[in-house]
Amino acid sequence: MSFPWPEASATGIGSYPGTDAAEIFKIVLGEIPLPHLPELPDRGPGADMIGRSAAMLVEMPVRLEPSGWRIGDRPGLDLRRAHDFMKYDLDLVEQLAPVGPFKLQVCGPWTLAASIELPNGTRMLRDAGAVRDLIESLAEGVKEHVAEVRRRAPGAEIILQVDEPGLPAVLAGRVPTASGFRTLRSVAAPVAAEGLRTVLEASGAFPVVHCCAGDVPFKVMLDAGAKALSVEISAVPERRDEIIGEAIESGIGFLFGVVPGTDARLPQPAATVAPVRALWRRLGFPPGSLGSQVVVTPSCGMAGASSAYVRRALETCRKAATTLVDTPE
pLDDT digits (tens, 9 = 90+) for 94-118: 999 899 999 999 999 999 999 999 9
Report whether pLDDT(184) > 90: yes
148: confidence class by pLDDT, cuts 50, 70, 90: very high
Look at residue 328 in the predicted model and tell me its pLDDT.
54
**Average pLDDT in the 120-143 region?**
97
pLDDT digits (tens, 9 = 90+) for 13-26: 999 999 999 999 99
pLDDT digits (tens, 9 = 90+) for 59-72: 999 999 999 999 99
Report whether pLDDT(130) > 80: yes
Alpha carbons 191 and 237: distance in angstroms, whole number = 26
**Average pLDDT in the 34-63 region?**
97
Of the ranges 183-192, 287-296, 320-329, which one carries the lowest mean pLDDT score? Answer: 320-329
The 3-state DSSP class for residue 232 equals strand
* Interacting residues of 10 by C-beta distance below 8 A, sequence separation 6+: 32, 33, 34, 295, 296, 297, 314, 317, 318, 320, 321
Look at residue 179 in the predicted model and tell me its pLDDT.
80
* Interacting residues of 321 by C-beta distance below 8 A, sequence separation 6+: 8, 9, 10, 33, 273, 291, 294, 295, 296
Report whether pLDDT(314) > 70: yes
Report whether pLDDT(329) > 70: no
Look at residue 2 in the predicted model and tell me its pLDDT.
87
Look at residue 205 in the predicted model and tell me its pLDDT.
98
pLDDT digits (tens, 9 = 90+) for 266-289: 999 999 999 999 999 999 999 999
Q: What is the mean pLDDT of the chain?
A: 95
